[in-house]
């Protein structure tokens, strides 16, 4: 028994999860956890990759979050599954609908727009002031970028943060009537946008989905709405947590920041290290479709597999005995972090997230190269996302 291991609890991730997972990687790298209905906890990089590349044996269709049960039986009939809850071939068919918008080449064309948004946000920060970097930079940049791609009018963008926060609250185990009301508001909004795009298409992602077909059939309104919501969450929260977490790491590691300032060519590599060290998503689940074995343990059909990405990204077999160290020069060309997942469900928006992070840190470090913490950060209370809700910073001159 591991009394200090509770991967279904936000409190576990707010404590010292890495020391616990490090011990388990060495003593029991595939432990069975009794809480939330039970799950095999996948702690090793190789195991997480093996499961992710084998959807035939480990399905996403029966739920992707611990404690929420079988999505295929618990979901109301009117609610379509998200792309995250699909296996091939359905997953591949849906992914192809928008993949052209998220290729490295396509996202590179967005750099001018992303940089204009980043500079607009940084321009609101007074030199010498103290403020919340999350509110001034980490929240608005990815939120405005995905809103632009979805074709949302600027006047409606403030609602995006409330909706996105509600999705993360629901997924992180803090669902309330107020959360549900907010999610309902979001669905009604996108339903109205979709109806308008069906009548008068524009050059945006909602219009792309509205005119898309799979095997000769037009997507239903429910499928498009869930697609929009997934894009909003994935395109907003992951990048938000990468920017806030990365900023926190730079402030806490002045030597590494000095290396970056001295050699800006390290920035792209530093962002990969931020993703590895500050993995934005704690976990997703898969469910075994048949009896099998892993690490000599008997996995039964229906068993839940909890994929713990932060543990895989500190696996000493991959990253060495200094895997707990934040190193902007760590070589990421040969080794692969799993912050964006792997296999069929490799994050669709990974190139966009990398672009946004690079642009934001280029602009931030050019304007405020020696920003400092002005207090302790307030961490996100979630079992799903690794984020910072408030990061007080002295921006200097």
From the CB of residue 70, how many other CB atoms can be counted at a distance below 10 Å?
Answer: 14
pLDDT of amino acid 244:
97
Residues 80-110: tens digit of each pLDDT: 788 999 999 999 998 998 888 888 999 999 9
CA distance 212 to 53: 27
Residue 362, burial from CB neighbour count under 10 angstroms (0-12, 13-18, 19+): middle
pLDDT of amino acid 21:
98
pLDDT of amino acid 177:
85
CA distance 256 to 106: 31
Model confidence at 254, in pLDDT bands (50, 70, 90)?
A: very high
Model confidence at 173, in pLDDT bands (50, 70, 90)?
A: low
Q: What is the mean pLDDT of the chain?
A: 91
**DSSP state letters, 14-76:** HS-HHHHHHHHHHH-SS-EE-GGG-EEEE-SHHHHHHHHT-TTTEESTT-SSTTS--HHHHS-
CA distance 234 to 29: 29
Q: Would the pLDDT of 292 be above 60?
A: yes
Mean pLDDT within 154-166 = 79
Contact call for residues 235 and 142 (beta carbons, < 8 A): yes
Mean pLDDT is lowest, of 95-99, 134-138, 389-393, for 95-99
User: What percent of the chain shows pLDDT beyond 70?
Assistant: 95
Mean pLDDT is lowest, of 23-37, 71-85, 169-183, 243-257, for 71-85
Model confidence at 79, in pLDDT bands (50, 70, 90)?
A: low
Mean pLDDT within 25-40 = 96
The residue with greater pLDDT, 228 or 167, is 228
Q: How many helices (H) and strands (E) does the chain have?
A: 18, 14
Mean pLDDT within 293-300 = 98
Residues 122-132: tens digit of each pLDDT: 999 999 999 99
Q: Would the pLDDT of 78 be above 60?
A: no
Model confidence at 315, in pLDDT bands (50, 70, 90)?
A: very high
pTM of the predicted structure, to 2 decimals: 0.92
Non-local (6+) Cβ contacts of 25 within 8 A are 43, 44, 311, 315, 316
Identify the CA nearest to 303 among candidates 294, 290, 315.
290
The residue with greater pLDDT, 73 or 53, is 53
Mean pLDDT is lowest, of 88-92, 224-228, 299-303, for 224-228
Q: Would the pLDDT of 171 be above 70?
A: no
């Amino acid at each position: 028994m591991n009394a200090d291991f509770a991967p279904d609890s936000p409190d576990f991730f707010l404590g010292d999860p890495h020391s616990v997972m490090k011990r388990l990687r060495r003593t029991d790298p595939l432990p069975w956890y009794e809480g939330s209905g039970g799950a095999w906890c996948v702690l090793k990089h190789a195991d997480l990759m093996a499961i992710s590349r084998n959807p035939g044996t480990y399905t996403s269709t029966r739920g992707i979050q611990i404690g929420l049960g079988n999505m295929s039986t618990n979901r109301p009939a009117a609610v379509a599954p998200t792309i995250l809850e699909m296996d091939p071939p359905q997953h591949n068919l849906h992914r192809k609908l928008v993949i052209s918008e998220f290729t490295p080449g396509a996202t590179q064309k967005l750099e001018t727009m992303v940089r204009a948004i980043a500079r607009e946000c940084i321009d609101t920060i007074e030199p010498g002031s103290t403020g919340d970097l999350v509110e001034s930079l980490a929240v608005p940049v990815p939120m405005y970028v995905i809103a632009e791609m979805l074709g949302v009018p600027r006047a409606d963008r403030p609602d995006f943060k409330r909706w996105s926060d509600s999705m993360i609250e629901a997924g992180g185990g803090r669902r309330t009537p107020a959360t549900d009301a907010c999610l309902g508001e979001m669905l009604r909004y996108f339903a109205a946008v979709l109806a308008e795009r069906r009548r008068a298409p524009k050059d945006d992602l909602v219009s792309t989905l509205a005119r898309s077909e799979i095997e000769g059939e037009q997507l239903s309104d429910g499928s498009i709405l869930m697609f929009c919501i997934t894009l909003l969450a994935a395109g907003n929260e992951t990048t938000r947590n990468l920017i806030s977490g990365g900023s926190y790491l730079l402030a806490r590691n002045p030597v590494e920041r000095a290396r970056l300032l001295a050699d800006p060519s390290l920035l792209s590599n530093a962002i990969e290290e931020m993703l590895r060290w500050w993995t934005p998503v704690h976990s997703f689940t898969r469910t075994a479709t048949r009896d099998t074995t892993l690490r000599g343990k008997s996995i039964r059909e229906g068993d839940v597999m909890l994929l713990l990405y932060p543990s895989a990204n500190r696996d000493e077999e991959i990253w060495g005995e200094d895997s707990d160290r934040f190193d902007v020069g760590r070589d990421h060309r040969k080794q692969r972090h799993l912050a964006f997942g792997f296999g069929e469900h490799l994050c669709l928006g990974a190139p966009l997230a990398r672009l946004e992070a690079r642009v934001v840190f280029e602009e931030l470090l050019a304007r405020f190269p020696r920003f400092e913490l002005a207090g302790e950060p307030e961490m996100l209370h979630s079992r799903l996302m690794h984020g910072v809700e408030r990061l007080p910073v002295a921006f200097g001159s």
